[in-house]
Amino acid sequence: MAKRKIEFYGNSITAGYAVEDTSGKDSPDSTFTNNYLSYAAITARHFDADYHCICKSGIGITISWFPFEMPDIYDRLNPADSTSKWNFSLYAPDVVVVNLFQNDSWLVNMPKRDEFKKNFGKNSPSEEYLIHAYQQFVAGIRNHYPNAEIICMLGNMDATKEGSKWPEYIKKAVVGLKDDKIYTHFVPFKETRGHPSVKEQEEMANSLIKFIDENINW
């Protein structure tokens, strides 16, 4: 039985969306999604760790491409049923990785979308709003897992491109949490279109594995 436990919260990047789509078109029907080839699953296998993955393509913390966000569903047993609750005492990960905000980075600039109007009204959310929302989500995870090492990660799509403010939002959120077992780790923009390829997922896994090796004793 694996001695280590790791848990991921993420979006399409973590899901392995389009990872096997070699056409370069990111087929929208999820045919080419393969979580086994995602950086998350690769990282878990590297450490021979028990692996939990809570992810959905298109999801964000403050806004998604649909009418719910990760804070709404992360604690559900059935994500489609608001009355179903996961019992967090059943699984206590040593390491939790949060890789979210990529979808937020797009959607906060789309005021015509119904999700924008519902969540924000007429104006894009402030930096303070975004930082606070991220803090609240991570604080919720910390409340469920008081002993876990938490890595607040971002990458490798364009939320981490040069000049992006989103890594800074995460840095500020983590500093504000004042918790020396919460880290930040940013994987640079892959400089290609679409979702990560098999090779780009492997590169992201290598980056995360190196960070864990250098910072976490588990």
Residue 88 one-letter amino acid? F
Distance between CA atoms of residues 8 and 117, nearest Å = 29
Of the candidates 94, 41, 10, 2, the one whose C-alpha atom is nearest the C-alpha of residue 205 is 41
| Segment-wise mean pLDDT, segments of 10 residues, the chain, 218 residues | 90 93 71 92 98 97 97 95 95 98 98 98 98 98 98 97 98 98 98 93 98 97
H-state helical runs in the chain: 12-15, 39-46, 70-73, 102-107, 114-120, 127-144, 166-177, 198-215
Q: Find out whether 181 and 150 touch, Cβ atoms under 8 Å.
A: yes
Q: Which position has the token pair 């930096």?
A: 127
Cα 42–chain centre separation: 15
- 99: β partners: 10, 153
In tens, the pLDDT along 38-86 reads 999 999 999 999 999 999 999 999 999 999 999 999 999 999 999 999 9
- The β-bridge partners of 154 are 186
Residue count (the chain)? 218
The helix (run of H) or strand (run of E) holding residue 151 is: strand 149-154
CA angle, 195 as apex, 170 and 121 as ends, to 5°?
50
